[in-house]
A and B are shown apart, each in its own frame.
Chain A
Amino acid sequence: MNLTLRIWRQKGPEDKGRMVTYPVDDVSPDMSFLEMLDVLNERLILAGEDPVAFDHDCREGICGMCGLMINGDAHGPQRGTTACQLHMRQFKDGETIDIEPWRASAFPVVKDLVVNRSAFDKIIAAGGYVTAPTGSAPEAHSTPVAKANADAAFESAACIGCGACVAACPNGSGMLFTAAKLTQLSLLPQGQPERYTRVIGMVDAHDEAGFGGCTNAGECTPACPKGIPLNTIGRLNRDYLAATAKGANNTPGS
C-alpha cells in the first residue's frame, strides 16, 4: 500500500505546530498503525530529520500509553481498538491519513503527538482508591460481593487511562475516566466508607485540572477502546448529588 500521511509536528509546548505531509510507500496491510509510523521514523532518522515523537509502550492495547487522533477519530476508525492494535488493513491503498495528538486543554502537547496526561493521575490521587494500608486487610472471604456487582465493577475498572474520552469530547471533559473509577469503587463494599468524600475529591480535582464539564454529548463511550458505558457518568452524578446533599466534602472526618 502507498499512503500519504499528514502529521502534526510541534517541537515543544511553546511551538505553534503545523501539519506536515509525508508519503509512505510499501506499507504492508499486516503492519500495525504504529509499525507504519516506525517505518517512517527509520527513514526520517537516516535522512537526518527529526523522527515523529509518539507515545506507545505495550503495543497490545492495555497500557493506555498510545493515543492518536487518526482522521479525527480517537484511536482511529475501528471501534474498541487502541491505535497500537489498529492494523493497516483498515485503510485503503492511496489513502491520505491525518494524524494528530489528543487535543484538550488539560492535556498540553509535549512534542509532536505526545501529550501530558498527568492530570489523570491527579484525579486518582484525590480519592480514586480505597484506603487500605498494606497489612491492614481482613481475610478476603470475610466480605462476599454479589457476582453482578463484581462483574459491573470490573467493566468500569477496565479503563486504561488513555484519554480517548477526553480527546473525543467537544468539551474536553474527563468525566468518563473519573466516573469509571468512581463506579468501580462504589459498586464494591470495600469502597463504601469513602464513597462520598471520594466523589467530591475526584470531581474537584477534575475541574481544577482544566477538564471541561460533561454535557452528555455522548462522544466518549464510542471512542473508548474498552467500551466504558456512558451510564457510569449517571452514577457519578447521583453520588455527587448525594454527597453534596449530605454536606460531605473531601476533608477527612467530615
Chain B
Amino acid sequence: MELFTEGDPIADTKAPAGPVEKRWETRRFEAKLVNPANRRKMTVIVVGTGLAGGSAAATLAEQGYHVKSYCYQDSPRRAHSIAAQGGINAAKNYRNDGDSVHRLFYDTVKGGDFRSRESNVHRLAEVSVNIIDQCVAQGVPFAREYGGLLDTRSFGGAQVQRTFYARGQTGQQLLLGAYQALERQIGLGNVEMNARHEMLELVLVDGKARGIVVRDLVTGEISTEMADAVVLASGGYGNVFYLSTNAKGCNVTATWRAHRKGAYFANPCYTQIHPTCIPVSGDHQSKLTLMSESLRNDGRVWVPKTKGDDRSPKDIGEDERDYYLERIYPSFGNLVPRDIASRAAKNVCDEGRGVGPTKLGVYLDFADAIGRLGRKAIEAKYGNLFEMYERITGEDPYEVPMRIYPAVHYTMGGLWVDYDLQSNIPGLFVIGEANFSDHGANRLGASALMQGLADGYFVLPTTIANYLASGPLEKVDASHPAAVEARTDVEDRVQRLLGVDGDRTVDSFHRELGQIMWEHCGMERSEAGLRKAIDEIRALREQFWQRVKVSGTGEELNQSLEKAGRVADFFELAELMCIDALHREESCGGHFRAEHQTPDGEAQRDDDRFAYVAAWEFTADGEPSVLHKEDLKFEYVHPTQRSYK
C-alpha cells in the first residue's frame, strides 16, 4: 500500500497582498471587530497556559470575552515555557548596531532555511518590539545596564545584539508575567481556570470547532466544554523521542486529536536537535537537560584524534585532540548554528571517537577561557549552568571538560494555520509551538519566546475577533449529538487502555518508540532507515495495544493512564513524521537526508521540488494520509545555500 496520496494544493488566503511591511497593518484594519457588549456573550476555550496560551487567555479576557483555560499541570505557572533559558529576540536596535525589523525578518527567514512564510515572519519581527514594552510594563525583571536601560546579548544566526534576557531564566520571567496577567483576570472572574485538566478530544459542530472533551486528572471525570472558538496552545511534540529537553508531561494529544478531526498537520518532520545537552548516563534516564547555547562563546568542542581513546581528558595532549568545529568551520568555529553543530557531534561519535562511559559525547572545554579570563569571570558568566552540570553529572566542569551531546529540543512542525493563525477547521486557532508557522525548517535561538508571545498577546486577539464577528453562532451545549459522540469516544478510549491489562509498562513502549525515532528520524535520515522505522513503529504500536499494562481505574488520579493516552497518540504521530521525512527528498534546516548533501557533507536543499509546506490530512486509521502542498514564495529574501566555512 502507498504511504500517502496527494490532494489539492492549499494556500493562505488571509495575508493581504501588497508590500510585506504593510500586510499586518492592512489585515488589522480589514479584520472585523466585535463590539464590547457582544464580547461578553462569547466564550473562547484556550488549551495550554505557556507563553502563547497564557498571554492569549489574559488578553482575550481583558478584551471582554469569557475565557475557559485548561492546563494539565497543577498551576498555569508551570507550563514548559518556564524552562527557556537564553532570551527573547526583538528588533529594538537599542545597541545602534544596525538592527531593524527588516533585519530580524531576514535573519529568521534565512535561519529557517527558506521554508517559512515571509508574511508571517515579517509580522513576527514587527510585533517583537511591542513584546518587550509589554513585558517591562508587567514588571518582568530583564537584565539591565548600569545606566538603568535594558541589556542585550548575541545569539546564534545573527550579527546584532538583539536578545533580551533575565539571566538564564528568561522563559520563567516572561511566563510569570503572562501568568500574573492571567491570574488577575481569574481574580476578576473573566477567566475560568481549569488546572489538572487534559484535553482529549475536539468537538466539531457543523464543521466548526465548538468545544473540547477534557478529563479532570484528579477525579477522572470526563466532561464536554463548549465555546464559540477553540484555541490550542499546547506546545510541541519533542517527547515523541522519549528523551528530550521537554518536560515529562509535554505531549501531542491536543493537536493530534484535532488532526484526527480534520486539522492539517504541517511539516511534522522538522525537529530541532540542540547540540549542547548533558549526555545520557544510563537506561534509567528520564529526560535530558539543556546547557545554554551561550556556553559555546567560551567553550571549545573537541574529541580525541584516535578512536577508542579511553584516557582521561587531562592525559590527552593538545596534538592528540581534534577541535573539529574549528577545523571544519574555520570562520564560525564553535559558534556554528545548532543543526550544524549537532550533526558534527554525531559524525565524530559515529567514527568511534565519542567520549564518556557511553561514547556518545564530546568535550566542551573551558580550560582556555579560564586560563585567559580567570575562573571568576567564567563563574560570573556561567556559574548557574556549571552548578547545574555538576549536580547532574557529579563532575566539576571547572576542573574537567563538560561532556555534551545533542538532544531533541523543539519542534518547528505543528498544525497548519493561515495568516490569522486559524487552522483549516473554522473556529480552531493554533498558537505558539503548537502551530507550524514562523520558523521554517530551523528555529533560531531566542525566537520561540518571541513567537509565543507575539501570537498570544498581539496576533490572535486581533484575528480571532474577525472570526467571532461573523457570528452569532448557533447556541449549542454538551447535549448536542456531536458533543455526546466525542465524549463517548473518549470514554471508550480510556476503557480500552485500561482493558488491555498486558505485561509491559507504558514507559517501556515509549522508550522503545523513542529509540526508533532517534535512530532513524533524528539528526540524519535516509530512505532505508525511514522505511524501516515505519515498519517498526507499526509493529510496536500493534504490540502496545495488545500488551500495555495500565494500573488503576479511570475514576482517580492515575498517572499511568495519562501517559498511556499520550503515548498512543505519539505512535500515530511518529509514523506521520517518518512519512513526511521520507517524502521530503532534500535536506533543509533540522531535516537532514543522508542522500541529499553537498560534496563536503552540508545540507542540500531542492527549492525546485520542495519549496512548499507539507500539510497532511488524516483520513482513517490504516489509510494513507493526504498531502496538501502550500507553495512558498520568496519576494524579499532570496534563497541561498547556507555556508559557515
**Using a CB–CB distance below 8 Å, which chain A residues touch chain B?**
11-12, 28-32, 34-36, 38-39, 41-42, 44-46, 48-51, 53, 55-65, 78, 81, 85-87, 89, 110-111, 114, 116-118, 120-121, 124-126, 128-141, 143-147, 150-151, 153-154, 157-158, 160-161, 184-185, 188, 190-191
Q: List, in ascending order, chain B residues with CB within 8 A of A85's CB.
A: 388, 391-392
The 14 listed contacts between A and B (C-beta, < 8 Å) are: A31-B282, A38-B507, A56-B248, A59-B248, A63-B82, A63-B247, A125-B183, A128-B183, A129-B138, A129-B183, A133-B59, A134-B134, A154-B141, A185-B139
| Interface presence of B476 (CB below 8 A) | no
Chain A residue at smallest Cβ distance from B77: A161
8 Å CB interface, B236-280 against A: 245, 247-249
Given contacts A46-B503, A137-B130, whether A144 and B508 have CB atoms under 8 Å apart is no
Contact, CB under 8 Å: A137 / B136: yes
Decide: A65 and B507 in contact? CB cutoff 8 A. no
Q: What CA separation (Å) do A124 and B181 show in the bound complex?
A: 10
Give B111-141 as 1s and 0s: 1 = Cβ < 8 Å from A's Cβ atoms. Answer: 0000000000000000000101110111101
Question: In residues 54-106 of chain B, which contact A (Cβ within 8 Å)?
Answer: 55, 58-59, 62, 73-78, 80, 82-83, 92, 94
Residue pair B144, A63 in contact (C-beta under 8 Å)? no
Within B557-604, which residues are at the interface with A (CB < 8 Å)?
557, 559-560
**Contact, CB under 8 Å: B137 / A132:** yes
Whether B77 and A134, one on each chain, are in contact in the complex, defined by CB atoms closer than 8 angstroms, is no
User: When the two chains form their complex, are residues B75 and A118 in contact, meaning their CB atoms are under 8 A apart?
Assistant: yes
Roughly how many angstroms separate A85 CA and B391 CA in the complex, as a whole number? 7
A163 → chain B closest CB, angstroms: 10
Q: Are A38 and B284 in contact (CB under 8 A)?
A: yes
* Interchain CB contact under 8 A, B166 and A120: no
| B contact residues around A38 at 8 Å (CB) | 284, 286, 507
Residues of B within 8 A of A58 (CB): 78, 80, 82-83, 247-248
Whether B142 lies near A150 (C-beta < 8 A) is yes
Provide the bound-state CA to CA distance between A61 and B285, in Å.
Answer: 16
CB <8 Å contact, A42 and B394: no
The residue in chain B whose Cβ has the minimal distance to the Cβ of A140 is: B136
The dominant DSSP class at the A interface is loop
Selected from B76, B132, B218, the residue in CB contact (under 8 A) with A140 is B132
For the complex, give the distance between the alpha carbons of A111 and B559 in Å: 11
B55 touches A134 (CB 8 A): yes
B552 touches A50 (CB 8 A): yes
Q: Chain A contacts of B83 at CB under 8 A? A: 58, 60, 62-63
B 179-202 to A, binary, CB cutoff 8 A, 1 in contact else 0: 111011011000001010000000
Q: Is B289 an interface residue (CB 8 A)?
A: yes
B53 within 8 A of A: no
User: Which residues of chain A have C-beta atoms less than 8 A from B290's C-beta?
Assistant: 60
The answer on a CB contact under 8 Å between B248 and A57 is yes
Cβ of B329 under 8 Å from chain A: no
Are B141 and A31 in touch, CB under 8 angstroms?
no
Given known pairs A38-B286, A134-B458, the reply for A57 and B136 (CB within 8 Å) is no
Given contacts A51-B560, A87-B392, A114-B557, whether A133 and B62 have CB atoms under 8 Å apart is yes
Which residue in chain B gives the minimum CB-CB distance to A38?
B286
**A158 surroundings in chain B (CB, below 8 A):** 169, 172
Given contacts A38-B507, A58-B247, A130-B137, 8 further A-B contacts (CB under 8 A): A55-B74, A59-B247, A118-B74, A121-B193, A124-B77, A128-B183, A145-B148, A191-B139
Most buried by B among A45, A51, A58: A58
Whether A110 pairs with B218 at a CB distance below 8 angstroms is yes
CA distance A144 to B136 in the complex (A): 10
- Which residues does chain A contribute within 8 Å of B179, judged by CB atoms? 124
Q: Is the CB of B73 within 8 A of A65?
A: yes
B167 and A154 form a contact (CB under 8 A): yes
Cα A85 to Cα B247 in complex, Å, equals 13
Q: Is the Cβ of B286 less than 8 Å from the Cβ of A116?
A: no
Residues of chain A within 8 A (CB-CB) of B143 are: 150, 154
Q: Identify the closest chain A residue to B72 (Cβ).
A: A57
Q: Is B133 touching A137 in the complex (CB atoms < 8 A)?
A: yes
Alpha-carbon distance between A44 and B550 when the two chains are bound, in angstroms: 11
Do B187 and A126 touch across chains, with their CB atoms under 8 A apart? yes
CB neighbors of A among B196-226 (8 A)? 218
Give the docked Cα–Cα distance between A95 and B629 (Å).
60
Given known pairs A34-B286, A117-B74, the reply for A63 and B80 (CB within 8 Å) is: yes
A130 to B181, CA, bound (A): 8
Is B557 touching A111 in the complex (CB atoms < 8 A)? yes
Residues of chain B contacted by A30 (CB below 8 angstroms): 281-282, 284, 393-394
Q: For the complex, is B176 an interface residue (Cβ under 8 Å from A)?
A: yes
- Identity of the chain B residue whose Cβ is nearest the Cβ of A145 in the assembled complex: B148
How far apart are the CA atoms of A65 and B71 in the complex, in Å? Answer: 13
List residues of chain A with CB within 8 A of the CB of B78.
57-58, 63-65, 161
A62 & B142 in contact (Cβ 8 Å cutoff): no
CA distance A89 to B270 in the complex (A): 38
Q: What chain A residues lie within 8 Å of B457 (beta carbons)?
A: 134
Q: How far is the CB of A74 from chain B (nearest CB, A)?
A: 17
Among residues of B, the one whose C-beta sits closest to the C-beta of A155 is B141
Query: B residues within 8 A CB of A39?
Result: 284
Of the residues B130, B505, B556, contact of A45 by C-beta under 8 Å:
B505
> With an 8 A cutoff between CB atoms, is B173 at the interface?
yes
Is B551 interfacial (CB 8 A cutoff)?
A: yes
C-alpha spacing A78/B394, complex, angstroms: 13
Query: B556: which A residues are within 8 A, CB to CB?
Result: 11-12, 111
Give the residue name and chain of the A residue nearest to B507 (CB): A42
B19 interface residue (CB < 8 Å to A): no
Pair B146/A32 contact, Cβ less than 8 Å: no
Residues of A contacting B186 with CB < 8 Å?
121, 125
